[in-house]
Amino acid sequence: MLKLTPFLFQRLLYGSLILMVLSCTSNDNSQSNHLVFKYNEHKNIGSLDPAFSKDLADIWATHQLFNGLVQMDDQLNVKPSIAKSWTITDSAKTYTFNLRKDVFFHKHELFGKDSTRIANALDFEYSFKRLIDKTVASPGSWVLNKVDRFYAVNDSVFQIELKQPFPAFLGLLTMKYCSVVPKEIVTHYGNDFRSHPIGTGPFKFKRWEENLKLVFRRNNTYFETDSKGQQLPYLEAIAITFLPDKQSEFLQFAQGNIDFVSGLDGSYKDEILTTDGKLKPKYAEDVKMIRGPYLNTEYLAFFMESSVNTIQSLKLRKAINVGFDRNKMMTYLRNGIGIPANGGFIPKGLPGYDATIGFHYQPELAKQLVAEFKAETGIKNPKITLTTTSNYLSFCEFIQRELQKTGLVVNVDVIPPSSLKDAKANGQVDFFRASWIADYPDAENYLSLYYSKNFAPNGPNYTHFKSDKFDQMYEAAYLETDPILRAQLYTKMDSLIMDSAPIAPLFYDEVVRFTRKNVNGLGINATNLLEIKSVKKD
């Protein structure tokens, strides 16, 4: 057990709720503790239907229950899943998938006397049709926007034809939206399929008391094995609790009641980590820390169609970019977790990233640019309003203090996340904090935020950045099948963006996971996908 520090003792005030949850969980788990993987989901889970797996909390859960044609390993390589192999023909527009014949759906009485059946190509045809069905209204329908048609050639061959070549398409198919679901079960439950999921995954649904606990059990007919031929998964069950805040979550981890926590929250970062991002000695004996690049860029954005003169000024936008110390910000506000964003918008870890095309801290240049703006416009006290949410207030206040040294007054406006989401989609904020987490591991996903045909609210171009040269390169990248040449195009596009400075990148995030030392096989990947099928507990 970990030592109970004053920090942890204070958190015992949460005890009554925690004891209630753990009591319910322990009563439901008859398996030995070392066969159950336990974690908390403080953001809650909205649906166990993969067609609605939009948020990370939902993705983590549905990933244990469902499979698609392909999957991604921890190095972001696309690997077989239900599709054992595939070919790409017709100038990279036709994808033909050969399916395994030993993948069974989880047992359910609606399947008939055998209570199960093999997942086949017709199931994928149904699942994809459902994904784009407007009456279903899946938030993942966009995944198939570049698809012309798809169909089952026979039971074990599924074919997809694209409207145009798209090199990142296999990566798109790894998303949980593209999971296979059985028609008879979905038809029977309708909207309630969200809480009665039947898939082919390594774990099967057992019980869900919403806002309290969720339990999955081992799928004994799962088709994947490890390198030694042993059937996966190793564990007997997964138990998920829903304590609503990260402080309570960390206390449960410290007491050994859950097996891991993800991310670095302000409520416990100074308790567990030193300022340079190392585990404090009192935790080193019982805790492992895993960290690595995360495909997430945190940044400040300017609305380029704003009528505000401070937003329209390229000199002020560049002054903001060089006017604060990103290294200092990461040390004091993130305990060294994260990579200062001195490159472009593409994060470290993706082809196309270039550390030399962005901005570095140059306080004297920032002062000079602000002075030039004042001289050119006659505005003696330039002001700008930065809109953010409470979670990032400390970052925005740090930037506010730094930029005031240059002669630029920054007002920080804090609004709820839902309000900021609507405001930035509709061009109602001039300067705002944002982040972009990759939907799929290709830099095209990041650069799509600056393609002129993607202007919000009809796309993710929240800045309304527009460049004919950028658009031409973006469209050319679709047709470039050589990955090296495509990465070079990505870098050129990213550099062009930074020349116009519609954003001020803050940092490229890192995935950080803290686990108990008896947990083995829990890897880490740049999409922060939770892979439990290979986890063992000593």
Query: Token pair of 320, please?
Result: 């903001």
Centre a 10 Å sphere on the Cβ of residue 525 and count the other Cβ atoms it contains. Answer: 20
User: How much helix, strand and coil, in percent to the nearest 5, is found in the chain?
Assistant: 35, 25, 40
The residue whose two tokens read 């950080």 is: 512
The two tokens of residue 427 are 């061009």
The C-alpha atoms of residue 302 and residue 503 are separated, in whole angstroms, by 6
Kindly give, in sequence order, each residue whose CB lies less than 8 Å from that of residue 536, ignoring residues fewer than 6 positions away. Answer: 234, 235, 519, 520, 521
pTM: 0.82
CB 65 within 8 A of CB 197: yes
Token couple for 89: 């023909």
Instruction: Tell me the one-letter amino acid at 477.
Output: A
pLDDT in tens, the chain (538 residues): 444 554 444 444 444 444 444 444 444 444 456 799 999 998 789 999 999 998 889 999 999 999 999 999 888 889 999 999 999 999 889 999 999 999 999 999 999 888 999 999 999 999 999 999 999 999 999 899 999 999 999 999 999 999 988 888 999 999 999 999 999 999 999 999 999 999 999 999 999 999 899 999 999 999 999 999 999 999 999 999 999 888 899 999 999 999 999 988 878 888 999 888 889 998 988 999 999 889 999 999 999 999 999 999 999 999 999 999 999 999 999 888 899 999 999 998 888 999 999 999 999 999 999 999 999 999 999 999 999 999 899 999 999 999 999 999 999 999 998 899 899 999 999 999 999 988 888 999 999 999 999 999 888 999 999 999 999 999 999 888 788 899 999 999 999 999 999 999 999 999 999 999 999 999 888 889 999 999 999 8
**311 contacts: CB under 8 Å, gap ≥ 6:** 302, 303, 304, 317, 384, 430, 431
Angle (CA) 67 73 77, round 5° = 110
Q: Compute the residue count for the chain.
A: 538
Q: Report the alpha-carbon distance of residue 73 to residue 191 in Å, rounded.
A: 31
CA pair distance 154, 88, nearest whole angstrom: 18
